[in-house]
Chains A and B, each alone.
Chain A
Amino acid sequence: MADKVSFEEAMKKLEDIVERLEEGDVPLEEAISIYRQGMELSKLCHDKLKDVEEQLTQILTEDGKKEDFSIQEEE
């Protein structure tokens, strides 16, 4: 489930959580719960960056299809 969150969303949520906690007026139970959430998000972001699945580079062909693309040396 967590994997469906984009890196950007995860970062945004993480940032929000840190800021909320730093503001300091969150009830303890909630603080613990969002802290856990924050740690999960942090791990998620970390993992997303660390175990990079290198994305394929594609090219759009004349007939609008996407094909894998590899760099050709200049002729």
Chain B
Amino acid sequence: MKEQRYLTVTALTKYIKRKFDADPHLQDVLVKGEISNFKQHSSGHMYFTLKDEKARILAVMFSGSARSMKFSPENGMKVLITGSITLYEQSGQYQIYVKSMQPDGIGDLYLAYEQLKEKLEKEGLFSTAHKKILPKYPKTIGVITSPTGAAVRDIITTIKRRYPIAHILILPALVQGDNAKHSVVKAIEKANEMAEIDTLIVGRGGGSIEELWAFNEEIVARAIYASKIPIISAVGHETDFTIADFVADMRAPTPTGAAEMAVPHIDELMERVLTRQTRLLRVMKERIQFDRQRLNRIEKSYAFRYPRRVYEQKMEQVDKTTERLIRGAEKVFLGKKETFTNLHRRIERNSPNELLKQALLQHERLAKQMNRAMTGIFSEKQKDFRQMIVTLEALSPLKIMDRGYSLVYNEEDKLVKSIEQISTDDPIKVRMSDGSLLCKVVEVQGEENK
């Protein structure tokens, strides 16, 4: 044998790996088994062995696939797996790469639950805006559950203990089995036809997911959503939520819890009544005390202590007002009287007698005025005249002659002003201030002779 015919381990392993990878059946495997040697790496990858009584296979689930899982795998858990088979070359071991994994036994139900939950959530059936408020003091509580069993007993005893004045009406329903959903829906509808029911508890005791399944049914969810009466869901399983829990207005972990939510405790109510009564008493006491103090204050006031003063003051006020009234009236009267007198006077003044008298008076006055004016004018003129005489006297030739001047007249008694008018031997008359001289001209001398 030649050496070339020997394969390396790597080559052989690669060859085998190709065989695995090429087989379509091995690329899409559905396998179920039990988990053992479960380890989750800090990276999120999961490593475990899947086994049954006779065989085992290594399994790897990478974090990417593991993240979308709805449960946490544990050792001993039976699971359903989809994945592909491949060979891990370093160890020469074949293993399954897990794409998805779900707990065995509930597989379809689990899926259905998730799908329905998602659908209803999208539709808004879980919206808090739609949740109804439970009545504070319910009168009739409808209980939809099996009439036998722990749930109904727990609900009844709890309500009776806390709030015995509430009326309980059991609406019997099947709570497990295929007909349970229809039975529960019918009971919810029936309850909504009964006017007296103001609170509904819908539920049952704990059980496996199959037993509780009716509460994960769509028609039940829709019936709860459609109910006009507020519903408390009480499906006895503390950890898992049913669809009914999401839709219900309140969710109680147990039937007992639901009963506690449904009714107040009578002792608390008693306490509340007493508190109100105390407040009522206190507020009234305070009120009366306050009013009494006010009254005391008022009684101590001036008006109460000296009532006469109030009265006297009023009297004074009356007097003063009366006085003002009289004064006012007088003023009005006097005013009118004065107006009358004035008018009367005007009429008198305008009578013919009066007018005549006035005219005479005026005439007299005018005459006097005229006389006075005439006398005035006369004396004025006299004064002027005297003045003129004085002036005249000053201008008189006689006055000038007094100062030594003489006037010469010719024969015809004409004033001689020039030598031209005179010839030698002409007779002339020289008038002096105190008389005249009759003279004869001896010689006429001209000015040039001087």
Say whether A and B bind each other: yes
Residues of A at under 8 Å CB distance from B?
6-8, 11, 14-15, 17-18, 21-22, 24, 28, 31-32, 35, 38-39, 42, 45-46, 48-50, 52-60, 66, 69, 71-72, 74-75
Q: Is B32 an interface residue (CB 8 A)?
A: no
Chain B 157-172 interface residues, beta-carbon cutoff 8 Å to A: 157, 160, 164-172
Could you say which interface size class chain B belongs to? 35 or more
CB-based contact B149/A49 at 8 Å: no
Bound form: Cα–Cα A59–B137 in Å: 21
Q: Interface of chain B, helix or strand or loop or mixed?
A: helix
Bound form: Cα–Cα A11–B274 in Å: 11
| Residues in chain A near residue B165, CB distance under 8 A | 7, 48-49, 52-55
Interchain nearest-CB distance for A34 vs B (Å): 9
Which residue of chain A has the shortest Cβ distance to B150 in the bound complex?
Answer: A74
Q: Is B280 an interface residue (CB 8 A)?
A: yes
Q: Is B228 an interface residue (CB 8 A)?
A: no
Bound form: Cα–Cα A72–B147 in Å: 8
Q: Which of B137, B152, B190, B269 contacts A71 (CB 8 A)?
A: B152
| Residues in chain B near residue A21, CB distance under 8 A | 280, 283-284, 287
| Residues in chain A near residue B270, CB distance under 8 A | 46, 49-50
Q: Is B276 an interface residue (CB 8 A)?
A: yes
Bound form: Cα–Cα A22–B285 in Å: 11
Which residue of chain B has the shortest Cβ distance to A75 in the bound complex?
Answer: B148
Interchain nearest-CB distance for A45 vs B (Å): 4
CB-based contact A22/B279 at 8 Å: yes
Interchain nearest-CB distance for A33 vs B (Å): 11
Q: Which of A38, A52, A71 contacts B156 (CB 8 A)?
A: A71
Bound form: Cα–Cα A7–B163 in Å: 12
Which residue of chain B has the shortest Cβ distance to A61 in the bound complex?
Answer: B172
Interchain nearest-CB distance for B170 vs A (Å): 4
Interchain nearest-CB distance for A46 vs B (Å): 5
CB-based contact B277/A42 at 8 Å: yes
Given A42-B276, A49-B266, 19 further pairs, Cβ under 8 A: A11-B137, A11-B273, A18-B283, A21-B280, A28-B287, A31-B284, A35-B280, A38-B276, A39-B280, A46-B274, A49-B273, A55-B168, A57-B160, A57-B169, A58-B167, A60-B169, A60-B170, A60-B190, A69-B170
Q: Which of B139, B153, B172 contacts A6 (CB 8 A)?
A: B139
Q: Is B291 an interface residue (CB 8 A)?
A: yes
| Residues in chain A near residue B148, CB distance under 8 A | 72, 74-75
| Residues in chain A near residue B279, CB distance under 8 A | 18, 22
Chain B 223-280 interface residues, beta-carbon cutoff 8 Å to A: 266, 269-270, 272-274, 276-277, 279-280
